[in-house]
Amino acid sequence: MTKSQTPNPNNIDELIKALGDPLRTRILEVLSNEKICVCELAENFGISRNLLSFHLKKLANVELLKVERDGNRIFYIINEKYKDLLTEYLNLLDNY
Task: With 0.85 as the threshold, say if the pTM is over it.
Answer: no
Q: What is the pLDDT of residue 10?
A: 60
61 CB-near residues (< 8 Å, 6+ apart): 14, 18
Q: What is the pLDDT of residue 2?
A: 47
Q: What is the pLDDT of residue 8?
A: 57
Q: Is the pLDDT of residue 66 over 90?
A: yes
Question: Domains in the chain, ordered, with CATH?
Answer: 10-88 (1.10.10.10)
In tens, the pLDDT along 5-58 reads 555 546 788 888 888 899 999 999 999 888 889 889 988 899 998 999 999 999
Q: Residue 62, Cβ neighbours under 10 Å: how many?
A: 20
Q: Is the pLDDT of residue 3 over 60?
A: no
In tens, the pLDDT along 67-96 reads 999 999 999 999 999 888 888 988 888 887
